[in-house]
Each structure stands twice: as C-alpha cells, then as structure tokens.
C-alpha cells in the first residue's frame, strides 16, 4: 500500500503542477472577466466547478491511500484546500504550488524509505 500511495502522490503532484496551477490562474481570470462585464458566464463557471470537484476527489482518494499506508497526509490536505479556494486571486495559486511541493517531497521521502532496507547497508571489515 505504501508503493500505491507513493505513486499516487507522484501522479497527483505532477497533475497539480501542470493542470492545477494553470486552471487556478485561468479559472480566476474567467470569473474575474465575468464579474467585470456584469455577468458571470455559466460555461466557464460550470466547467471550473466540475474541475474543482474532480481535483478535490482525486486528493480525497490520495488521502485515503496515505491514511491506509500510514504515510504523510499534508500534501493531499493542501490539495483539497487548493481545490476549494482556487478563485481567490493569489491564495489559490500559492496553496496549489505548496500542495505540489509537499506532495513531491512526501513521495520522494516514501521512495527513499522504501529503498533503504536494513539488508542494503554495506559493512566493511577492517
């Protein structure tokens, strides 16, 4: 289960880094443009609401994997928060970047712990 959690963190972190950060900026701009013209277009708002639910559910699944594996959960929790607050101009983007950093760091640490076994230590006889 630790391997599943680690792989899921790498995938989620990569998706958040590319798609999540981009949608945080584009989503805010779409809502802001709608507010400037006096009407929020239903198309972008519905689209980004669906994407928000999708990203939040991906992080909830990752959180379940992390809990079952006994791993760290902060990256997925920050990802859920970022999915909810993406419309706040700077906060959504900053939290999304922090979620990516924590997800990648947690995945890397889980990979190192998995590779470091007691049998892999080299002892030298002097």
Which residue range is the domain that position 59 belongs to? 2-111
Asked whether residue 98 is domain-assigned, the answer is yes
Report the pLDDT value the prediction gives residue 120, as an integer from 0 to 100.
47
Domain count, the chain: 1
Report the pLDDT value the prediction gives residue 40, as an integer from 0 to 100.
55
Asked whether residue 48 is domain-assigned, the answer is yes
Report the pLDDT value the prediction gives residue 101, as an integer from 0 to 100.
92
The answer to pTM > 0.85 is: no
Report the pLDDT value the prediction gives residue 63, as an integer from 0 to 100.
92
Asked whether residue 74 is domain-assigned, the answer is yes
Per residue in 53-86, pLDDT (tens digit) is 888 899 999 999 999 988 889 989 998 988 888 7
CA distances from 2 to 76, 110, 116 (A): 15, 8, 14
Asked whether residue 118 is domain-assigned, the answer is no
Asked whether residue 26 is domain-assigned, the answer is yes
Asked whether residue 126 is domain-assigned, the answer is no
User: Which residues of the chain register pLDDT less than 50?
Assistant: 119-120, 124, 126
Asked whether residue 93 is domain-assigned, the answer is yes
Report the pLDDT value the prediction gives residue 16, as an integer from 0 to 100.
84
76 CB-near residues (< 8 Å, 6+ apart): 9, 12, 59, 60, 62, 63, 66, 99, 103
Asked whether residue 120 is domain-assigned, the answer is no
Report the pLDDT value the prediction gives residue 105, as an integer from 0 to 100.
92
């Amino acid at each position: 289960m630790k391997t599943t959690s680690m792989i899921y963190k790498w995938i989620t972190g990569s998706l958040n880094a590319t798609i999540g950060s981009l949608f945080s900026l584009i989503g805010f701009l779409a809502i802001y443009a709608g507010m400037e013209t006096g009407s929020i277009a239903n198309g972008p708002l519905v689209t980004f609401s669906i994407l928000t639910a999708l990203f939040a559910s991906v992080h909830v699944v990752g959180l379940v994997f992390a809990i079952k594996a006994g791993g760290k959960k902060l990256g997925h929790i920050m990802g859920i928060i970022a999915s909810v607050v993406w419309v706040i101009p700077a906060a959504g983007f900053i939290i999304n970047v922090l979620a990516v950093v924590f997800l990648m760091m947690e995945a890397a640490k889980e990979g190192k712990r998995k590779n470091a076994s007691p049998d892999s230590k080299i002892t030298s006889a002097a």
